Structure 1
């Protein structure tokens, strides 16, 4: 099974312009761009045959080529990472059995998160798309609630059925829990923004019109759910690692602190 990974990256982010080129302090005192850190994290994943940065911006492309990444230029009109992966697959000339969408704002993503998706897809030919979910610990849950209380868009949560097929994804903290009745373990799952698709699922996605829910939430995976396409959630274990995406400038110190803890 040939597996190709794309890192979608765009310059014109509304919440954080030029985010892929944001510089983060490393534990040794040097700095690396977010896109380089994401590429290095993607390159550490087992079972992946090729890794590309997929972008429509020459500034990102130049930076990526400078640290050794393969780059595929995509259309500016790609409305999200899934559409950009579909465009990148077509433009790269790759013949893939499995396509990975590895978010360019999540350099703390452990390799085993993606390896679990690859294993799930290999083990069940009926799965057209899969994504990881991670049970929140108290610190992550509190960070999610703090973001929402202060009007910040933080991480995404997922709810799923008994077969691990997604019911919904939201940037709100779901399910609602009475603050005085917070159970242990916490039944809130952080959606890790990584996707594995079979090429036919990608083709179906780009052929389906944009839906109201994905526009309101800003979550591309909701187009699959709205259209009745199952999204398999694969629960992963952080193994003590802190996981956080870079959604806002305020997340930079969180990620830099997490990097310090990895040393």
Structure 2
């Protein structure tokens, strides 16, 4: 089954305008833009046939083409990354069995997260959409809680059934727990990793659906599938000692740079 990775990247953002072009310094002191680091992460994934950046902004297009990425221009009317992926897929003429949305704010996404996600969707012929979840250690959970106390939106959390069908996703920390955890402790909270794999039929239907109240309240695009009765498969992935964080706010830049330095990411 052929697979395409689309990296949706938009310049306008209420929380962080120009985020795809934000510079991140690696362990060697070399600075690269967020969109370049996301593209490099996508190119490291095995079993993928094509990687493209999808944007509506000439500045992002020029920057991406300068480091060698293939770019697909999309409409400024796209409301989220899934809609942009759907348009990019159409503009490419289709031809892939699985489309992966590797959002451009997650440069630390390990290749095996995406590989496991694609495998999970391939192995479940009834699933239309899949997304990875990562069990938080105490360090990650405490980071989420610190963000919320400071009034910042950090990572997204997920709860799901024993069959790994999603029950809900939230920018709040769910489920609630009154326990305290040391950095290395295992916790009952799962971090939703901002990657999606779709079958073309589900992806094509998505832009035709209205956004529901939960999607509008949370600002989480995957909730549209659930509000329209589609099951979302949560694929549990393992960190294997790697740290993971998304760039949601300007304050996340030094946090991600510190993680890259610790992991030796160039």
| Both structures adopt the same fold (TM-score exceeding 0.5) | yes
Is residue 191 of structure 1 aligned with residue 196 of structure 2?
no
Deviation at residue 122 of structure 1 after TM alignment: 1.4
Distance change in 2, residues 1:181/1:134 (3 Å): closer
* Deviation readout 1:193-218 (Å, 9 max, x if unpaired): 00000000112211211111101100
In 2: Cα distance, 1:181 partner to 1:87 partner: 43
Distance change in 2, residues 1:181/1:104 (3 Å): closer
What's the counterpart of residue 258 of structure 1?
A: 259
Structure 2, unmatched stretches of 5+, are: none
Is residue 134 of structure 1 aligned with residue 134 of structure 2?
yes
Is residue 38 of structure 1 aligned with residue 38 of structure 2?
yes
* Deviation readout 1:72-118 (Å, 9 max, x if unpaired): 00010000000000000001224110000001000000000000011
In 1: Cα distance, 2:5 partner to 2:133 partner: 19
Deviation at residue 179 of structure 1 after TM alignment: 3.7
* Deviation readout 1:123-181 (Å, 9 max, x if unpaired): 12111000000000000000000000010000000000011000000000000111469
What's the counterpart of residue 2 of structure 1?
A: 2
What's the counterpart of residue 56 of structure 1?
A: 56
In 2: Cα distance, 1:121 partner to 1:143 partner: 30
* Stretches (4+) displaced over 2 A: 179-182
TM-score (norm 1): 0.97
| Contact 2:113-2:237 at 8 Å conserved across structures | yes
What's the counterpart of residue 169 of structure 2?
A: 169
In 1: Cα distance, 2:181 partner to 2:7 partner: 40
1:157 is paired with a residue whose SS is strand
What's the counterpart of residue 215 of structure 2?
A: 214
Is residue 18 of structure 1 aligned with residue 18 of structure 2?
yes
Distance change in 2, residues 1:181/1:127 (3 Å): same
TM-score (norm 2): 0.96
In 2: Cα distance, 1:180 partner to 1:127 partner: 36
In 2: Cα distance, 1:48 partner to 1:181 partner: 38
Distance change in 2, residues 1:56/1:162 (3 Å): same
